[in-house]
Amino acid sequence: MVRYVTSNPGKAREAAAYLGTDVETIDYEYLEPQADDLEPVARYGARAAFDGLSGDEPVIVDDAGLFIEAFDGFPGPYSSYVEDTLGIELVAEIARGATDQRASFRAVIGYCDGSVTETFAGRVRGQIVAPRGDGGFGYDPIFEHGDRTFAEMSVEEKNAHSHRARALERFAAWYDAHRESD
Q: Any bridge partners for residue 26, and if so which?
A: 5
Instruction: List the 143-145 sheet strands across, edge first.
Output: 23-26, 2-5, 59-68, 102-112, 117-128, 143-145, 148-149
- 147 is known as an active-site residue: no
Let me know: does 63 contact 42? Beta carbons within 8 Å.
Answer: yes
End-to-end CA, the chain? 15
Residue 172 identity? A
Q: How far is the CB of 56 from ligand IMP (least distance, A)?
A: 25
Q: How far is the CB of 137 from ligand IMP (least distance, A)?
A: 6
126 sits near ligand IMP (criterion: CB under 6 A)? no
| Candidate residues 120, 139, 171, 175; the one interacting with ligand IMP per rule CB under 6 A | 139
Site for ligand IMP in 40-99 (CB under 6 A): 63-65, 79-80, 83
Q: Backbone phi, then psi, for 32, in 5-degree steps?
A: -95, 135
Number of residues lying near ligand IMP (CB under 6 A): 15
113 sits near ligand IMP (criterion: CB under 6 A)? no
One-character DSSP codes across 95-137: HHTSS--EEEEEEEEEEE-SS-EEEEEEEEEEEE-S---SSS-
**Going residue by residue from 7 to 26, which x/- string records binding to ligand IMP, judged by CB under 6 A?**
-x------------------
148 sits near ligand IMP (criterion: CB under 6 A)? no
- For binding to ligand IMP (CB under 6 A), which residues are involved? 8, 63-65, 79-80, 83, 105, 136-140, 150, 164
Q: Which residues are catalytic?
A: 63
